[in-house]
Amino acid sequence: MADTGWEHKDAVEWCKKIVALMGLQLDVCRNENKTFLSMIRKRRKFPSATTRQCTSDLKRGPIQTWIRRNIKSTTIINCMGMRAQESRSRGKLNPLKRNKALTNSKRTVWDWLPIHHWNEMEVLDYLEKRNIPLHPIYRHLRRFSCRICIFMNDHDLSEVKQYDPEAYRIIADLEKEINFSMRPGKYLS
Ligand code: SF4
């Protein structure tokens, strides 16, 4: 798990619990130099769909660093849960490809999207049959993302305002502080 520093308060513990159901241990990595909020404060702007530093610097980067530091030689299957139905860009992803950035003469890394072709019902069915619980956030949000994600729509944000007013206030205050809104032309306040 890559912790952006802007995860739901119980996210790490929750993920540890789910991984433990499979008899596994969760490793948590972080960017040692920045969090979601400190990155925005320093750049004085939010990430966007085209400049998505939150994913590259706080998710992908720390996971790649973790793999480089901890796994020197073997074959690694890097499984991720993106599904084609989630968005047009996810639909275009290749479900199995060699990760060129992480593969070297001793280590081969494959990026695999094992549920890329699944629909939402298949996901829910899979979880139910194995008694794997959904995080409570799914009662009011579509994704278990950061507390507020740059891709949230009006409905998501009104839910956050109701269920996590602290997160809403932090982002609204940050927008005012840097004079830059998370969504073009739409300040949370
Ligand atoms: S969940 Fe949203 S805000 Fe968080 S890292 Fe991913 S894209 Fe960025």
| Each residue's pLDDT tens digit, 76-111 | 999 999 999 999 999 999 999 999 999 999 999 999
Distance from Cα 45 to the centre of ligand 1, integer Å? 14
Residue spans per domain, the chain: 73-118
Measured CA to CA, the distance from residue 19 to residue 53 in angstroms comes to 27
Tell me which of 149, 152, 171, 182 to substitute to probe ligand 1's pocket, judged by most ligand atoms within 8 Å of the beta carbon: 149
Distance from Cα 58 to the centre of ligand 1, integer Å? 9
Residues near 20 by beta carbon (within 8 Å), at least 6 away in sequence: 26
Q: What's the rounded mean pLDDT across residues 28-42?
A: 97
Using a 6 Å cutoff on CB, does residue 149 contact ligand 1? yes
72 has pLDDT over 90: no
Locate the ligand 1 atom nearest the alpha carbon of residue 59 and give its number.
Answer: 5
3-state secondary structure of 79: strand
Confidence of residue 3 (pLDDT cuts 50, 70, 90): very high
Across the chain, mean pLDDT equals 96
Confidence of residue 49 (pLDDT cuts 50, 70, 90): confident
Residue whose Cα lies nearest atom 6 of ligand 1: it is: 55
Distances (CA, A) of 32 to 54, 61, 166: 14, 11, 25
3-state secondary structure of 32: coil
Tell me which of 59, 137, 148, 183 to substitute to probe ligand 1's pocket, judged by most ligand atoms within 8 Å of the beta carbon: 59
pTM equals 0.92
Q: What's the rounded mean pLDDT across residues 4-26?
A: 96
Picking from 46, 66, 10, the residue whose alpha carbon sits closest to that of residue 184 is 46
Picking from 168, 166, 170, 171, the residue whose alpha carbon sits closest to that of residue 182 is 171
Using a 6 Å cutoff on CB, does residue 141 contact ligand 1? no
Distance from Cα 7 to the centre of ligand 1, integer Å? 9
